[in-house]
Structure 1
Amino acid sequence: MWSFFSRDPAKDFAFDIGEPVRGLEDRSVWSMHKGKKRSTQEEVSIFLFDVQKSSETQFDIAKASLKKLKTMRHPSLLHYLDSVESEKFLYVATEYVEPLATHIEDMKLQGQQRELFLAWGIFQITRALSFLNNDGNMRHNNVCLYSVFVTLAGEWKLGGFEYLTSQGQEGSNPIPLKIMPSLEIYDPPEKKDPTKLKAITKCSSDMWGLGCLIWEAFNGPLKNQPALKTVDNIPKQLGTLYCELVSANPASRPNPADIITRCRKMGGYFKNDLIDSMLFLEEIQIKDKAEKGKFFSTLTSQLDNFPEAVCVHKILPSLLTAFNYGDAGSAVLAPMFKLGKLLDDADYQKQIVPCVIKLFASNDRTTRSRLLQQLDQFIMHLQNSTVNDQIFPQVVHGFLDTNPIIREQTVKSIVHLAPKLNYNNLNVEVLKHFARLQAKDDQGGIRTNTTVCLGKVATHLHPQIRQKVLVSAFVRATRDAFPPARQAGVLALAATQQYFLLVEVANRVLPALCPLTNDPEKQVRDAAFRTIKGFLGKLEKVSDDPSLKEGMEADVHTATPSLGNAAATWAGWAVTAVTAKFYRSHSDTARVSHSVKSALSKPGSLVSPAEQPSSSSLSTTTSSVTSMTSLERSESASDYDPEHWDMTQWGDIDSSAATCASVKSEPSSVSAHQHTTLAALCEDEWGNDEWGTLQEQPTAEEELASPSETWSNTQWTDPALNNANATYVRGARAEHRPAAHQNSGDSLGGWEDGEFEPIEENVDENNASKMDEMRRKREERKLQRQREMEARRSARAQGPMKLGSKLSGPAPPF
């Protein structure tokens, strides 16, 4: 009578049972269901045995298999979690798996991914059998397609322990009788031939089952034993081994340990990238740092050939564990970020973002550099609050780093960070550092990139800050001693023209561009002429039709311009590997100059093929100028997409570090001959034939609707200017710049310099006198610059100047 008050043990089962899973019908005494753990909602698999509908023999087999499942632990055996027995059912909870038969039927893997997946799975089952036969002294006796299960990570787990026996306990016949008739097809032939029982070994029956499993992995479920003779779909690497496994003589079947040894040799079936990587990750804690670095450097390129399930659920967690609890360091970043792209946003926030935050706090330069290089791969997953509160405070330290590579990469990272930065971080902190770098940094490449990046993030600036800063910053760039910096300033003015008031264009932009029409560098002169023509065309249109002014200035005071940011696609050439290209030693420059000297002594059309410098001779240094020619040819074929330039094209930290260390002086020390020679070689790369004109004639309706239309991106994507690897060298030609074009920390210390006083938007009659006075002062400064330039020209015409001679006086005689 106490049974009425007894508690049902199934209520204490910590798992909820879900829908049934197909694949084990008539192949097992268990039925399989999906399930979830009640406390964490973690997915599990539930194996259920119906006590009332089964015979007592089947119940004994089920309880025996449960006992064996509980007591055995191995990475390739099904992992037991919990179990409970009631009057009606026997419940067993395991890790989440699905039957291999179902998995192969639904599998969508093709080609190499499928081959690697099957090889990895067969290897795991062979390893599990080696554990049972050799270490456990047991026989499984039920190896087939229906006793193997697949986890979320694509790992094969051996289950189905209903017929597992220990050595010496089998009785007269070591092969047990199976109560499921459908499983008899997997019995080895010696079961029916008593004469062969003496030849049975401790692993012969399981090796027969492994042969059946291999056949089913490539052909589907086995219908009859004669089908095992069909080997057309079996890989050639497995052909010999497969024939040994399904041999009629039990003694000729190999030991599973021997199979692993044979197939792990070079050229063996188990010798491939996936199995090598998985085995390395299993032992990563005992590997030294050098081995880890080499492994991670090759893993990234191999991931594309691995099954996605293996990458997401096995390799990525192993990488995170190695990063958090090991000494993998920054080497793990590349594969980790590549695998992170396979995650959904919730999993990314949970797994990857904490690692990113931790990495940005690192003081290791290599780690910070690799993070900045790969910022575009994970920035879209970072919340704005995370960027402003935890990422940006660490990034901003890079502006002050003594290593120019870190400073340059920090500048370029703002292009990706800008959309997520708040007002203070972007409009105050970033611009403060940009102003200092553009005026005082000793590396011309960094000054150039600062100008370019400012143009790219202009659309994200506050309208008032943008109107106050852009013209002053870009005008300053046009006075830089470094030719690419001057050109970047010109192109920046053109690309962000929708943010300028027309009165600024007339009074500040054009006066700054006109002196550049006499620049020593042809590419700067060409850019200046085209930009001036474009601005004059706008002013002319507004002069003819004042009603167009409102449309042309529509974006000046708006936070979200009508056509988006025109600067987002301009001057891709300037932000590509500037550091790696500019920081070069004098010996490198001399070698390149010497190699092209003969070719540059006469026009290119007159140089014979034998006299032309070979590509191999011009590519001996990191900053070889020959890369410009090859890239121009590829980009001129309309392959270049200015909206999709890759961070990896901005320079390699490893390749540029060596050249950076050798150059610590101002590159102006490069000889005039070297600079002239390299500039001549680069001349063709700065061709402007495809620029188009800035003064196309749009209709009035188009100008009113979108004032940026005449400045479309196609007008600023010349392949030569967008060359990702163009090399520039500051040299003696920059020394002939007028004094007003030299960098000075005193006169160019900030964008609030009096020389760049902003023009008031609304000029009324009361301010006319003030405007006249400002205009008069500018004219005086302009005349003074012209007089200085004429004095320099006259001095050069009389002969070379000696060191220390003054420009105002005549050149002393030799």
Structure 2
Amino acid sequence: MWFFARDPIRDFPYEVSPEPPDGGSPPGPWTLHRGKKKATGDPVSVFVYDVKPGAEEQTLVAKAAFKRLKTLRHPNILAYIDGLETDKCLHVVTEPVTPLGTYLKAKGDKGELSQLEVSWGLHQIVKALSFLVNDCGLIHNNVCVAAVFVDRAGEWKLGGLDYMYSAQGDGGGPPRKGIPELERYDPPEKTDGSGKGVGEKWSADVWRLGCLIWEVFNGPLPRATSLRSLGKIPKSLVPHYCELVGANPKMRPNPARFLQNCRSPNGFMCNSFVETNLFLEEIQIKEPAERQKFFQELSENLDSFPEDFCRHKVLPQLLTAFEFGSAGAVILTPLFKVGKFLSAEEYQQKIIPVVVKMFSSTDRAMRIRLLQQMEQFIQYLNEPTVNSQIFPHVVHGFLDTNPAIREQTVKSMLLLAPKLNENNLNVELMKHFARLQAKDDQGPIRCNTTVCLGKIGPYLNASTRHRVLTSAFSRATKDPFAPSRAAGVLGFAATHNLYSMSDCALKVLPVLCALTVDPEKTVRDQAFKAIRSFMAKLETVSEDPAQLAEMGQCPLFLPHALPWEPAYAPPTSPVSPPPLLLPATFLSPQDSPFRDWGWGRGRAKGCRSSTRLSFQQEADTSRSQRDDWSAGKGSTTQAVSPGPPFRLPPTPSSWSGWEAQGSWDPGWQEEPGPPAPLPEGTKLASEYNWGGAESSERPDPFSALSPRLAVGTQAAGDWGSEENWEALESDNKQAKAELARKKREERRKEMEAKRAERKAAKGPMKLGARKLD
């Protein structure tokens, strides 16, 4: 019965907004509404036609358009999704679109409409028209601004199929429009009624295409005679436009030929935007080499492309290419560039899953691209994702044989450190930093490790800071690479507020004082600045102990961006840690970050030749200097013996020594032993006449001091243990152990010699004789 009947509109799976979109609906029988799918909430557009009494002709036209749109499928024709036909209304659901007139007005008001976008839009409409005329044998009969719609990606779609008819004359002639706004686009041979010069089947649609071009550049067409005024039509399009609106219908070009003419060199549709779109349409059938080249060039062109096009057309193609293709690392640059147009929520949904998957790739090119561009997406990564899915893959870069990857991995820790958990930051990362700073064969990487440690120091917990920082920076000050020694000084300065007063006096200052006789003046200058700053801090607290609480936040001096030239600042100025900007390798001193200090001026040849020194020569140098290093580590007082005048060793040694010790400097927590006795003839510092007249007559006790820096040849066996950061055996203990081993060896040889003598004295044993001892 009738009361059991269900309302089809209520059961329709799409919700239709009662209000039309901004700008209203285009002229015609249909009314455009926004809508969304009830199940998923996906946005759609809904064309609604209400059946009215006495409008049977318009109803037939609407039903014919409903059928045409449902059966015609083409990328440049409005896409049909669903529909509803009842006695009261017709509903046609399509992809979400905006009328072209509304779109052009909004873009024009913002000044965002470009000729590139218009050229591709017209290319799409002409291609759709060519499909209808040449492939389907249909006459559109309604080409105008009201029949064109724009989707989210900025793609133009041809609609308005209400008055379409067959070119062969099947089913009668063209339907009557009855709408004055649409009849002004009819060609002159139809309006004058003479019927002369009927022309080709496409002549009428091509004329209307010319009207569309005029309206795109000049606004609504008031009358047909206005077509003679070119207005703002580009010069490259004028000759082809004039062919479209020619008085002789037989001379009007086929849409396919018009498209070919505009695509000729220097034509209106010959540009990078059209080429990019055409390639994306056929990307699935392109060769891998062609796709690689396309993605490499895409990044340069994205800046000039519309934002909506990048978000809704380029991005899906990039994600598809990564998921199913072999694009590799070349898609990263355009991917992150397009990601700038996304909201935080869209970035999390579309980009982050791809980035997480990329980190597990074994492709070195992709890994280094990810590390280099981490700054662009680190803000969208949450801590659980970083610790569980990204950090375990990133740390593999510390062990990579490629120095560039190791360097970029160190730099990436500046961005990842704030998001790392307790174990990854204070245990795992410190293990790798200990290994890199002590054992890596590249000086710049050792230097960068020190700088990075200084910058992430505030993120470490208290116990790790106490155990690691002083040992690590002390180890850096003994590195043969001069920038590493400077980095150690700046590391102390950047983390000064993390040390107690006793640590400053007993651990930091002794290390800095040793650098006042460094072979490189730049290192000495930094050491003197740091010493003065630490001394000022200690003196301030000594005079007023009440300032001890405030001194923890009082900066010493401000290290600037590399090349580092820290200038002394009073204790009240803010401090910022040195940035991490060193390159992976220095092919010459000109590439060094210290070139502004004078590196490479007049010494380029020496430094460059020094890099060719053999590792055997370096090992010999290290062995010859080991005893001198041992003498300076065991106690706070060093014995100074008279010798030749003070001379700095040649600078190439700082470039050629690459071997590293396997642990940090011995722990500062151990109590210093009793001072060693001074040699005869050497006075204490308090007895030395620093300013008297005798100073010029007596030999300078410091003239024998010649700093010699070398990296030990023995590395710690277990790089994963925390013992690398804690107190290790000092060189004195190592020397004692070596001496004990030699004594045991001599004792063993002596015992063997005595046994041999006893056997020789007794003579050979006789058969049958009993051995008597």
* TM, length-normalised to structure 2: 0.76
Query: What is the CA–CA distance in structure 1 between the aligned matches of 2:73 and 2:503, rounded to whole Å?
Result: 77
Aligned partner of residue 77 in structure 2, secondary structure: coil
Specify the code of the residue in structure 1 equivalent to 2:521. K
Specify the SS of the correspondent of 2:157.
strand
Question: 1:577/1:206 Cα in 2 relative to 1: closer, same or farther (>3 Å)?
Answer: farther
Match of 1:571 in 2: 578
- Asked if 1 retains the 8 angstrom alpha-carbon contact of 2:358 and 2:366, the reply is yes
Q: Aligned partners of 1:11 and 1:218: how far apart in 2?
A: 43
* Partner SS state of residue 211, structure 1: helix
Q: Which residue of 1 aligns with 2:399?
A: 400
| Equivalent-residue separation in structure 2 for 1:264 and 1:533 (angstroms) | 72
Q: 1 or 2 for the larger relative contact order (CA 8 Å, sep ≥6)?
A: 1
How many residue pairs match? The answer is 634
Offset, 1:221: 1.6
Q: Residue 616 of structure 1 corresponds to which residue in structure 2? A: none
| Pair 1:435–1:187, CA change in 2 (3 A) | same
- Asked if 2 retains the 8 angstrom alpha-carbon contact of 1:116 and 1:272, the reply is yes
Contact 1:141 1:176 in 2 (8 A): no
Please give the secondary structure, in 1, of the residue aligned with 2:396. Answer: helix
Paired residue type of 2:449:
T
Please give the root-mean-square deviation of Cα atoms over the aligned residues, in Å. 3.4
Give distance in 2, aligned partners of 1:120 and 1:451. Answer: 53
Query: Is 2:697 the partner of 1:750?
Result: no
C-alpha deviation, 1:374, in angstroms: 0.5
- Alpha-carbon distance in 2 for matches of 1:22, 1:367: 45
Contact 2:104 2:113 in 1 (8 A): no
Report the equivalent of 2:37.
37
Please name the residue that 2:145 is paired with.
Answer: 145
Q: Secondary structure at the match of 2:335?
A: helix
CA contact (8 A) 1:16 1:38 kept: yes
Q: Is the 8 A contact 1:483 1:734 kept in 2?
A: no
SS of aligned partner of 1:199: coil
Question: How far apart are residue 293 of structure 1 and its match?
Answer: 1.9
Q: Which moved more, 1:130-139 or 1:477-486?
A: 130-139
Q: Counterparts of 1:318-397 in structure 2 under 5 Å? A: 318-397=317-396
- Deviation of 1:625 after TM superposition, in Å, equals 7.3
1:286-328: CA deviation from partner (whole Å, max 9, x where unpaired)? 2222222221122112111111111111111111111111111
Q: Distance in 1 between matches of 2:368 and 2:66?
A: 53
SS of 1:237's equivalent in the other structure is: coil
Q: Paired residue for 2:509?
A: 510
Amino acid at match of 2:662: G
The separation in 2 between residues aligned to 1:555 and 1:94, in whole angstroms, is 65
1:249-288 matches, within 5 Å, as: 249-288=248-287
> 1:135 maps to what in 2?
135
Specify the alignment match of 1:702 in structure 2.
Answer: none
Distance 2:472 2:546 in 1: 30
Q: Is the contact made by 1:163 and 1:178 (CA closer than 8 Å) also made in structure 2?
A: yes
Aligned to 1:425: 424
- CA offsets, 1:741-794, max 9 Å, x none? 98875xx4334x5x23238xxxxxxxxxxx5x45748999xx9xx999966759
CA contact (8 A) 1:495 1:567 kept: no
What secondary structure is seen at the aligned counterpart in 2 of 1:186?
A: coil
CA distance in 2, matches of 1:473, 1:29: 79
Q: Which runs of 5+ in 2 are unaligned?
A: 556-572, 600-607, 622-648, 686-699, 709-773
User: Aligned letter for 2:460?
Assistant: L
Encode CA deviations 1:54-109: one digit per residue, 9 max, x unaligned. 61111100000010001111111000000111232111100000111111111158
CA deviation after TM superposition for structure 1 residue 20, in Å: 1.5
Give the 3 Å change call, closer, same or farther, for CA 323–78 of structure 1 in structure 2. Answer: same
1:467 positional shift:
2.6
Q: How does 1:602-681 map to 2 (within 5 A)?
A: none
Quote how far apart the aligned CAs of 1:38 are: 1.0
Name the CA distance, whole Å, in 2 between partners of 1:300 and 1:238: 28
C-alpha distance in 2 between matches for 1:341 and 1:735: 47
> 1:189: Cα distance to partner?
0.8
> 2:231 corresponds to which residue?
232
The CA deviation string for residues 442-461 of structure 1, in whole angstroms up to 9 with x for no partner, is 11011001001111111211
Residue in 2 that maps onto 1:808: none
What amino acid is the match of 1:521? E
Structure 1 Cα separation of the partners of residues 616 and 227 of structure 2: 74
1:441 deviates by 0.5
In structure 2, distance between residues paired with 1:428 and 1:778: 41
Name the structure 1 match of 2:500.
Answer: 501
Displacement of 1:553 in angstroms is 2.3
* Runs of at least 5 residues in structure 1 that lack an aligned partner in the other structure: 557-565, 593-622, 633-658, 673-730, 760-770, 796-814
* C-alpha deviation, 1:113, in angstroms: 5.4
Match of 2:114 in 1: 114
Q: Which amino acid aligns with 2:415?
A: H
Counterpart contact for 1:668–1:732, Cα < 8 Å: no
Instruction: Measure how far apart 1:379 and its partner are.
Output: 0.7
Partner of 1:712: none
Structure 2 Cα separation of the partners of residues 197 and 374 of structure 1: 66
Task: Give how far 1:535 is off.
Answer: 1.0
Equivalent AA in structure 1 for residue 316 of structure 2: P
Counterpart position of 2:203? 204
Name the SS of the counterpart of 1:16 in structure 2.
Answer: strand
Relative to 1, partners in 2 of residues 1:163 and 1:511: Cα closer, same or farther, differing over 3 Å?
same
Where does residue 733 of structure 1 map in the other structure? 651
Q: For 1:182-193, list aligned pairs within 5 A.
A: 182-193=181-192
Alignment deviations for residues 652-680 of structure 1 (CA, whole Å, 9 cap, x no partner):
xxxxxxx9xx99976998xx9xxxxxxxx
SS state of the match for residue 21, structure 1?
A: coil
Distance 2:596 2:224 in 1: 65
Structure-2 change in CA distance of 1:666 and 1:221 (3 Å): farther
Counterpart amino acid of residue 750 in structure 1 = S
Cα 1:390–1:449, aligned 2, differ >3 Å: closer, same or farther?
Answer: same
Q: Is the 8 A contact 1:81 1:94 kept in 2?
A: yes
Contact kept? 1:359, 1:367, Cα under 8 Å: yes
Shift of 1:193: 3.6
SS in 1 for 2:236: helix
Structure 1 residues 245 and 733: alpha-carbon distance in aligned structure 2, compared to 1, 3 A threshold: same
Q: Quick one: structure 1 residues 793 and 182, their matched pair in 2 at CA, closer, same or farther if it must change by over 3 Å?
A: closer
Query: Is the 2:481–2:654 contact (alpha carbons within 8 Å) kept by the matching residues of 1?
Result: no
- 1:399, 1:109 → 2: CA distance? 53
Structure 1 residue 175: deviation in Å?
A: 5.3
Instruction: Measure, in 2, the Cα distance between the counterparts of 1:351 and 1:359.
Output: 13
Partner in structure 2 of residue 16 of structure 1: 15
Residue equivalent to 1:242: 241
Identity of aligned residues (%): 48
The residue number in structure 2 matching 1:80 is 80
SS state at 1:248 partner? coil
Do the aligned partners of residues 26 and 346 (structure 1) sit closer, same or farther apart at CA in structure 2, a change above 3 Å counting? closer
**Contact 1:359 / 1:368 at 8 angstroms: preserved in 2?**
yes
How far apart in 1 are the matches of 2:617 and 2:122?
Answer: 65
Q: Tell me, in whole angstroms, the C-alpha distance in 1 between the residues paired with 2:598 and 2:314.
A: 36
Match of 1:640 in 2: none
Partner secondary structure for residue 146 of structure 1 = helix
- Cα-to-partner distance string for 1:463-498 (whole Å, 9 max, x where unaligned): 331232111111111110000100111111111211
The answer to whether the 8 Å contact 2:137/2:168 transfers is no
SS at match of 1:417: helix
